[in-house]
């Protein structure tokens, strides 16, 4: 009997059997970045968590439309651009490019669609018009257009709150002209001091969209008025996602009976010394700062080995441990990387059956290219450890258990050197976006960050010294050979002599 994928739905606070609106197809929307600064490790948690979600959905055979938006109009963006004396588009363009660089370093696959808020302002205005028609939107005395929260009967369900429990002004700004302190902005009236680039003309006067409105308009425009999965960080659950539900359902399903999202997924916080990592607290570390110390795959592995809903405590010690663990997996792989690639690709070409619970599963679109896609396609899903891996991933994406399966395979591979086990290890790891690098290069460089390589001898210089040592040994000039070994050791290079010759690693 085919297994059922179970998701923890934040709305109902329980695991539920996943049943997409359309058989075999999944619409997935994730709230992305507000691009006014570099991404931090908290953002990395979200990026990796939902990258794994979409990879598993694809490996399971679903045709996925993955949408992750970019917020490129916002109070913070306007403030930063004015401070810098640059245009909004210059600021956001710069940080979008930086975001994509960070994603690539973490092995994040680009979403199928990456809408920018500024491209969907007409759809946002249409949504406000629907809300006004349905009696949920009104114009305040200061020119803003607001949403009547108390009119929406289900408000607070996602966050587990009621309006009576909430204190006015605690999370929702209280402004003059509101009918109720909980009402939130749909359309912000233009201000004289703001740049013209931040203003659009429309039926609600010159202005710009509210943040909550942006995601409702983009998600429903690209995935339909009702879609399967909406995700994001736990910090967005209230008020952002709560407000999305209110305005979307009030616009599209005013009679009730339906909601625009079926399943809500939220990843846990990254903490530092027991506090949530955030820019507002000043305890955040940018992805690019951490990449100076650690390879991007180490950061990814550090995140993946914890369940996406759990809290993770960030520390260099934790990343050091993740690096050593990841190196153990790499050390199990064949040193003849091209041959291993070819073997996997040949196996995949034979049309290996994938039975992860949804019929014939498609190969996951892995960031590492064709070889990684072939690795996923070559998995023998009837093998007991692959079945355990699939069972774990079907249990609300239980990556810690899935990672433990990788270590079981690595242990067996070290013992047997069986190519079939290596295919399984590489294929299952590719589902998680892992083990896509050349293991020889990984062993040589030790999965270190960019800063750790500053001042390093380059590979050609090291190989030249290794060759010179070999020549000295052949000439029985052992003093010279030992001097070269010592020179390399002082440069942080370890030599390993074996029957096949001398190899080196940093």
Q: What does the pLDDT read at residue 350?
A: 44
Q: Which of 209, 241, 267 is the last residue of a domain?
A: 267
User: Is residue 215 annotated as involved in ligand binding?
Assistant: yes
Q: Is residue 113 classed as helix, strand or coil in its secondary structure? A: strand
Query: Does residue 365 fall inside a structural domain?
Result: no
Q: pLDDT tens digits for 255-306?
A: 988 999 999 999 999 998 778 777 677 788 999 999 999 999 999 999 999 9
Instruction: Dump pLDDT digits (tens) for 354-378.
Output: 333 323 322 333 444 566 677 788 8
pLDDT band at 169 (very low <50, low <70, confident <90, very high): very low
Domain stops at, among 267, 294, 327 = 267
- What pLDDT score was predicted for residue 268? 97
Three-state SS at 386: helix
Mean per-residue pLDDT of the chain: 88
DSSP string covering 450-480? TGGGTTPPPHHHHHHHHHHHHHHHHTT-HHH
Torsion angles phi and psi, residue 228, rounded to 5: -80, -60
* Boundary of a domain, candidates 267, 283, 317: 267
Query: Residue 197 belongs to a domain with what CATH number?
Result: 3.40.50.620
pLDDT for residue 321 is more than 70: yes
Query: How wide is the angle at C-alpha 45 spanned by C-alphas 44 and 48, nearest 5°?
Result: 80
The answer to whether 244 is annotated as binding is yes
279 labelled binding-site residue: yes
Structural domain boundaries enclosing 480: 459-505
More confident residue, 164 or 307: 307
pLDDT for 252 beyond 60: yes
How much is the pLDDT for 298? 98
Residue at 112 is within a domain: yes
What is d(CA 294, CA 16) in angstroms, rounded to the nearest whole number? 37
Residue 293, both tokens: 């110390």
Q: Is residue 193 part of a domain?
A: yes
Average pLDDT over residues 83-88: 97
Domain assignment present for residue 254? The answer is yes
370 is in an annotated binding site: no
Q: How far apart are CA 6 and CA 8, in angstroms?
A: 7
* DSSP letter for each residue of 11-77: TTTEEEE---SBTTEEEEEE---B-SS--BHHHHHHHHHHHHHHHHHHHTT-EEEEEE-BB--SHHH
Tell me if 271 sits within 8 A of 313, measured CB to CB: yes
Residue 255 is assigned to a ligand binding site: no
Secondary structure class of 448 (helix, strand, coil): strand
SS3 436: coil
Total domains in the fold of the chain: 2
pTM of the predicted model as reported, rounded to 2 decimal places? 0.86
Residue 163 binned pLDDT confidence (cut-offs 50, 70, 90): confident
């Amino acid at each position: 009997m085919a297994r059922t994928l179970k998701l923890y739905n934040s709305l109902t606070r329980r695991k539920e059997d996943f049943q997409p609106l359309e058989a075999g197809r999944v619409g997935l929307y994730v709230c992305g970045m507000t691009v006014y600064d570099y991404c931090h490790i908290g953002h990395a948690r979200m990026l990796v968590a939902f990258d794994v979600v979409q990879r598993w959905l694809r490996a399971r055979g679903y045709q996925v439309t993955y949408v992750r938006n970019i917020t490129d109009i916002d109070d913070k963006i306007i403030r930063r651009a004015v401070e810098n004396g640059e245009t909004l588009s210059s600021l956001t363009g710069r940080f979008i490019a930086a975001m994509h660089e960070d994603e690539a370093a973490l092995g994040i696959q680009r979403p199928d669609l990456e809408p920018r808020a500024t491209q969907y302002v007409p759809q946002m205005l249409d949504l406000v018009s629907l809300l006004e028609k349905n009696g949920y939107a009104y114009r305040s005395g200061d020119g803003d257009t607001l949403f009547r929260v108390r009119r929406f009967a289900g408000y607070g369900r996602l966050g587990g709150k009621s309006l009576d429990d909430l204190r006015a002004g605690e999370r929702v700004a209280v402004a003059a002209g509101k009918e109720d302190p909980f009402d939130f902005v749909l359309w912000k009236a233009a201000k004289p001091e703001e740049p013209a680039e931040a203003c659009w003309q429309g039926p609600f006067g010159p202005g710009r969209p509210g943040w909550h409105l942006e995601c409702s308009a983009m998600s429903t425009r690209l995935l339909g008025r009702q879609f399967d999965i909406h995700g994001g960080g736990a910090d967005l659950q209230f008020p952002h996602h709560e407000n999305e539900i209110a305005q979307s359902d009030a616009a599209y399903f005013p009679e009730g009976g339906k909601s625009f999202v079926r399943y809500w997924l939220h990843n846990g916080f990254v903490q530092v010394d027991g506090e949530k990592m955030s820019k507002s607290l000043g305890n955040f570390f940018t992805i690019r700062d951490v990449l100076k110390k650690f390879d991007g795959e180490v950061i990814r592995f550090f995140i993946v080995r914890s369940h996406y809903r759990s809290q993770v405590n960030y520390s260099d010690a934790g990343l050091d441990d993740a690096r050593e663990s990841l190196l153990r997996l790499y050390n199990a792989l064949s040193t003849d990387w091209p041959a291993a690639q070819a073997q996997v690709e040949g196996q995949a070409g034979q049309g290996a059956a994938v039975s992860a619970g949804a019929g014939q599963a498609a190969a996951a679109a892995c960031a590492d290219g064709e070889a990684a896609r072939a690795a996923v396609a070559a998995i023998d899903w009837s093998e007991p450890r692959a079945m355990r891996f699939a069972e774990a991933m079907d249990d609300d994406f239980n990556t810690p258990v899935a990672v433990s399966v990788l270590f079981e395979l690595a242990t067996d591979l070290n013992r047997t050197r069986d190519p079939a086990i290596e295919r399984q290890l590489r294929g299952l790891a590719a589902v998680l976006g892992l083990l896509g690098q050349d293991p020889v290069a990984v062993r040589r460089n030790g999965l270190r960050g960019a800063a750790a390589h500053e001042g390093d001898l380059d590979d050609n210089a090291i190989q030249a010294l290794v060759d010179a040592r070999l020549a000295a040994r052949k000439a029985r000039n052992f003093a010279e050979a030992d001097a070269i070994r010592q020179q390399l050791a002082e440069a942080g290079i370890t030599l390993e002599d074996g029957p096949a010759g001398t190899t080196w690693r940093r």
